[in-house]
Structure 1
Amino acid sequence: MSDKEAKNTTAHHGQPHVAVLAFPFSTHAAPLLAATRRLAAASPTTLFSFFNTAVSNRSLGLSAGTHGNIRAYDISDGVPEGYVFAGKPQEEIELFMRAAPARFREGVEAAGVESGRRVRWLLTDAFFWFAAEMASEIEAPWVAFWTAGPTSLSAHIYTDLIRDNFKGSLTAAEAQEDETPLDFIPGMSKIRVRDLPEGILFGNLKSLFSDMLHRMGRALPSAAAVFLNSFEELDPAITDDLTSKLTTFLSIGPTNLLHKPPLPSDPDTDACLHWLDAQKPVSVVYVSFGSVTVPPRGELAALAEGLEVSGAPFLWSLKKSEDLPEGFVERTRRQGKVVPWAPQEAILSSAATGAFVTHCGWNSLLESVAGGVPMICRPFFGDQRINGRVVEGVLGIGVKLEGGVVSKEGLVRALGVVLLGEEGREMRKKMKLLREKAEWAVGAQGSSTRNFNQLVKLVDLS
């Protein structure tokens, strides 16, 4: 090491350095990067080393290298050279997770040497239960980011209690019919067994993914802090309970309300917003199941038939319109639009949008609250079922489709309730009040602003 390098190492050694470990699947890495960028802007003297797979980094528009005070690193995806995929569910995730602890350790050590700054804080996706041990090894506090909502987080933290209470596990068929309330968990009296994510009481409880979530629930109480994109006023009872269970529990959102109007994303090449401007207020049905989920063909057909027979104008974000019934797009050309991508936040903020048919992912739920649009929920997996119950049974800002799947008749009835009925008007009133609480939370004196400032102090003092 040269004299100049030695001086730089000495100068930087005491400055904050945060290692950020991303989960590169589904929509996990993007919100973690957004949180990292927000922290980096608030703490400009802190270096943030962001570790993610090359494929996921590219999907985020992030190249390996330095971006302000964020330095991106590509790590291995864990797929051995020459490996032939067998097509098993979650195969990529399993390969990554088996390799992740060692790969992350190597990366964090290398980033410390390269920067001349010892890593003083470990910020990770909450899925990485092994971060507790890593943080202990490098003598740094561990802070975990949960990418979903507080109710699903509570379910994972209470997994052992839930299993003890129900004396084991259930089959998926048994769980789908089980309306037993989880009233032995604070704030969860309106949540039913059937709403739980897979891996707690049903599904393959011995899979790597289920084991990962179980270990996460056990490990999170040892973290220095757990934070998420939510706001305390959304569910005060669960917030209070998680605050008592975790060392520090911080809601710092909804982050989408920090940007008004919404931040520009991809160009609106299909003129969705121009089309919306020509529609009547609270009349349009917006349909989107996120970037990952595609309903079965039978449900796509039922959804198309329900929209067509309802006569309601619709805007449907669907990558492959060829999966729809033959002739549907042509027959409904005057009624609606089917596009491969749509500017969701802007659509939900339009006065014309009256209902949102959704998988009920957490980010979609928050964007719907910001736009004041009631939801029609068709959950598929993970936290989506529990979010759907929160929407309908706790907050009263939407309905779940009858039977939990899309049918033509069920969709038409749901649209009638949300667009035309008194219940729909009440939902919009509740949405308005909830949005006001959310706007206050991210305002200058709000709870989320206070919590974010606390998170920044952790960075600065670590």
Structure 2
Amino acid sequence: MELENQTIHVLMVAFASQGHINPFLRLGKHLQTKGLHVTLATTETFRHRIIKHHHTDIGTTTITDEIPAISGIDIVFFSDGLSLEYDRKNNLDIYMDTLAKAGPIHLTNLITSLACDNIRPKKFSCIINNPFVPWVADVASQVGIPCSMLWIQPCTLFAIYHSFYNNAHDFPTKEDPKKSVQLPGLPLLQTCDLPSFVLPNSPFGSITKAFFEALKNIHKLRWVLANSFYELEKEVIDSMSKFVMIKAVGPLVPLKLLGQDHEVRDFVGIDMWKADDQCIEWLNQKEPNSVIYVSFGSLVVLSKKQMESIAIALKKSKRSFLWVVKPSNYPVPEGAGELPEGFLNETKEHGVVVPWCHQSLVLSHKSIACFLTHCGWNSMLETISVGVPIIAYPLWTDQPTNAKLMVEVLGVGIRLWPNDEGDVKSETIGECIKDIMDGPQATEIRAKAARWKDTARGAVAGGGSSDRNVQEFIDDIIRTSSCIECNVNSSSMESQSV
């Protein structure tokens, strides 16, 4: 007999980064609204950051010494093997290696303790991890729980990494650093289009190792879910189907951006900085499609030269702009992330600079004309969901590939290209601003952005491609749980008869 949905518990295990946790929370909310119980596990550093910044939401969030919850999703923590004071950002390789050794021990203990809780025991029917914590698949196997993975980058990146780690195609090497790559379902990829982790000069060996481990463990996974939607990456998803079945369940963005939720604060997610709500009041006073939104996400801190180039371009454009310049949580080079002297006073008539904002509210605002962005995938999905054109300024990791996808494949923006010295000049930024606001391509770019917005909303609507995939995933969890329960009961009856 099939189990009832309310008896099904799912454990999601996420890397302690805002860009990782938010897609998990939104997938968890989808599962929760369909009757499943969901718990998110991450490291103690996340709890520490939330309490340190003393603000926790967009969404109904409570962080206490007891089990906290975000929009009804329980949040639990385990140790990564390091002290809370340890500088993880500037010692990333050491941190990832330590997490891979200590994480399995502490996560296993956490799963055991949750199952034995006298008040609210949790017997998990499925565990969902992501590539930055590939060892979770081994933990799931050891405790006898089916494991799935949520791929939080585009499926295009999955195809690139799969080919790279399986030596299916030639990639750039130290001897041939400019080699281009042609993969099924994708346009020709130059070196500047590839994720930094597959390049011969990548300084982050631990991340490269984590992706390798994730793909090596792919046979241990029951499902590979992706934060994308089928219509967006049809060709690459189809091309990968002979290796692994990827099911797109996105875009995993706030429902407000998809036209499904009109509650302003019900965004289901966390922000690591306190948002400045006054910028929304400022946007309310602006004409439709008149404001340039500038933000580089939760991790990137721009160099002094990059800050100056953007500042000069915005000042010379004479157009309204909203620029997010966040404080850094870790040591940075002198001048990095700082505005040029006098910039605020010189642009006060047409610009606003804030330390952080509710990006969902900003991107969905009628006054936003374009988004100058680093092309992080979460931001790109939010942008697609509201139909806003982009000026792509990719820097590292998956961002160059995301920019390639957004500009050349989807046609929803313009890409900034550095000069021979590796710098993007203010003149180049200024020209792109002019082109995307009212240049020859502007109308076509806006039309394509509007069409992709409609397609994204159709994917998550009832009966859409992503909605169907989520339901198939849930149905499979229920079937698997039913089989496990039947086997357990049969074994128990056999032992009693003996």
For 1:83 and 1:300, the matched residues in 2 are separated by 29
Query: Match of 1:88, as an amino acid?
Result: N
How far the C-alpha of 1:376 sits from its partner, in A, is 0.8
Is the alpha carbon distance of 1:95 and 1:246 closer, same or farther for their aligned partners in structure 2, counting shifts above 3 Å? same
How far the C-alpha of 1:331 sits from its partner, in A, is 0.8
How far the C-alpha of 1:93 sits from its partner, in A, is 3.4
For 1:81 and 1:335, the matched residues in 2 are separated by 42
Is the alpha carbon distance of 1:431 and 1:317 closer, same or farther for their aligned partners in structure 2, counting shifts above 3 Å? same
For 2:16 and 2:84, the matched residues in 1 are separated by 19
For 2:28 and 2:411, the matched residues in 1 are separated by 33
Q: Match for residue 104 of structure 1?
A: 107
Q: Match for residue 409 of structure 2?
A: 394
Q: Match for residue 3 of structure 1?
A: none
Query: Match of 1:65, as an amino acid?
Result: I
How far the C-alpha of 1:179 sits from its partner, in A, is 6.3
CA contact (8 A) 1:359 1:384 kept: yes
Q: Quick check: 237-246 or 267-276, which moved more?
A: 267-276
Q: Which structure 2 residues correspond to residues 138-217 of structure 1 after superposition, within 5 A? A: 138-161=143-166, 165-166=170-171, 169-170=173-174, 175=177, 178=178, 180=180, 182-183=181-182, 185-204=183-202, 207-217=205-215
Q: Quick check: 32-41 or 443-452, which moved more?
A: 32-41
Is the alpha carbon distance of 1:216 and 1:187 closer, same or farther for their aligned partners in structure 2, counting shifts above 3 Å? same
* Structure 1 SS opposite 2:16: coil
Q: Pick from 229, 232, 252: which aligns with 2:230?
A: 232
How far the C-alpha of 1:327 sits from its partner, in A, is 0.6
Is the alpha carbon distance of 1:340 and 1:157 closer, same or farther for their aligned partners in structure 2, counting shifts above 3 Å? same
CA contact (8 A) 2:163 2:169 kept: no
* Structure 1 SS opposite 2:148: strand
How far the C-alpha of 1:405 sits from its partner, in A, is 4.5
For 2:87 and 2:338, the matched residues in 1 are separated by 29
How far the C-alpha of 1:242 sits from its partner, in A, is 3.1
Q: Quick check: 142-151 or 239-248, which moved more?
A: 239-248
How far the C-alpha of 1:350 sits from its partner, in A, is 2.3
* Structure 1 SS opposite 2:462: coil
For 2:90 and 2:99, the matched residues in 1 are separated by 15
Q: Pick from 31, 34, 37: which aligns with 1:42?
A: 34
2:411 matched to 1:419? no
For 2:434 and 2:441, the matched residues in 1 are separated by 10
Cα shift readout 1:72-105 (whole Å, capped 9, x = no counterpart): 3221121169978895344433332331122212
For 2:12 and 2:216, the matched residues in 1 are separated by 21
Q: Match for residue 358 of structure 1?
A: 373
For 2:200 and 2:337, the matched residues in 1 are separated by 34
How far the C-alpha of 1:214 sits from its partner, in A, is 1.4
CA contact (8 A) 1:43 1:460 kept: no
Q: Match for residue 92 of structure 1?
A: 95
Q: Match for residue 23 of structure 2?
A: 31
For 1:335 and 1:143, the matched residues in 2 are separated by 48
Q: Match for residue 485 of structure 2?
A: none
For 1:96 and 1:259, the matched residues in 2 are separated by 38
Is the alpha carbon distance of 1:323 and 1:163 closer, same or farther for their aligned partners in structure 2, counting shifts above 3 Å? farther
CA contact (8 A) 1:196 1:386 kept: yes
Q: Match for residue 19 of structure 1?
A: 11
Cα shift readout 1:309-368 (whole Å, capped 9, x = no counterpart): 111111111125981111110011001111112222222222321111001011111111
Query: Match of 2:31, as an amino acid?
Result: L
Cα shift readout 1:120-157 (whole Å, capped 9, x = no counterpart): 32211233322333333233221111112111122122
Q: Match for residue 493 of structure 2?
A: none
Q: Which structure 2 residues correspond to residues 309-328 of structure 1 after superposition, within 5 A? A: 309-320=316-327, 323-328=338-343
CA RMSD of aligned residues (A): 3.0
Is the alpha carbon distance of 1:322 and 1:208 closer, same or farther for their aligned partners in structure 2, counting shifts above 3 Å? closer
How far the C-alpha of 1:396 sits from its partner, in A, is 1.0
Is the alpha carbon distance of 1:383 and 1:112 closer, same or farther for their aligned partners in structure 2, counting shifts above 3 Å? same
Is the alpha carbon distance of 1:343 and 1:239 closer, same or farther for their aligned partners in structure 2, counting shifts above 3 Å? same
Is the alpha carbon distance of 1:281 and 1:82 closer, same or farther for their aligned partners in structure 2, counting shifts above 3 Å? closer
Is the alpha carbon distance of 1:135 and 1:298 closer, same or farther for their aligned partners in structure 2, counting shifts above 3 Å? same
Q: Match for residue 54 of structure 1?
A: 44
Cα shift readout 1:189-212 (whole Å, capped 9, x = no counterpart): 243333222232323488222111
Query: Match of 1:18, as an amino acid?
Result: V
Q: Which runs of 5+ in 1 are unaligned?
A: 1-10
Q: Match for residue 5 of structure 1?
A: none
CA contact (8 A) 1:229 1:255 kept: no
For 2:462 and 2:290, the matched residues in 1 are separated by 34
How far the C-alpha of 1:111 sits from its partner, in A, is 1.9
How far the C-alpha of 1:424 sits from its partner, in A, is 1.6
Is the alpha carbon distance of 1:442 and 1:86 closer, same or farther for their aligned partners in structure 2, counting shifts above 3 Å? closer
Q: Which runs of 5+ in 2 are unaligned?
A: 51-55, 328-335, 482-498
CA contact (8 A) 1:378 1:405 kept: no
* Structure 2 SS opposite 1:406: coil
* Structure 2 SS opposite 1:23: coil
For 1:86 and 1:295, the matched residues in 2 are separated by 15
CA contact (8 A) 1:252 1:452 kept: no
Q: Which structure 2 residues correspond to residues 431-446 of structure 1 after superposition, within 5 A? A: 431-446=449-464
How far the C-alpha of 1:427 sits from its partner, in A, is 0.6
Query: Match of 1:334, as an amino acid?
Result: E
* Structure 2 SS opposite 1:448: helix
Q: Which structure 2 residues correspond to residues 296-311 of structure 1 after superposition, within 5 A? A: 296-311=303-318
CA contact (8 A) 1:356 1:374 kept: yes
Query: Match of 1:346, as an amino acid?
Result: L
CA contact (8 A) 2:275 2:355 kept: no
For 1:459 and 1:43, the matched residues in 2 are separated by 12
Q: Quick check: 320-329 or 105-114, which moved more?
A: 320-329
How far the C-alpha of 1:113 sits from its partner, in A, is 2.3
How far the C-alpha of 1:448 sits from its partner, in A, is 1.1
Q: Quick check: 349-358 or 29-38, which moved more?
A: 29-38
For 1:262 and 1:125, the matched residues in 2 are separated by 29
Q: Which structure 2 residues correspond to residues 63-82 of structure 1 after superposition, within 5 A? A: 63=64, 64-65=66-67, 67=69, 70-79=73-82
Q: Match for residue 116 of structure 2?
A: 113
For 1:407 and 1:121, the matched residues in 2 are separated by 49
For 1:212 and 1:17, the matched residues in 2 are separated by 27
CA contact (8 A) 1:158 1:217 kept: no
Is the alpha carbon distance of 1:410 and 1:88 closer, same or farther for their aligned partners in structure 2, counting shifts above 3 Å? same
For 1:84 and 1:93, the matched residues in 2 are separated by 12
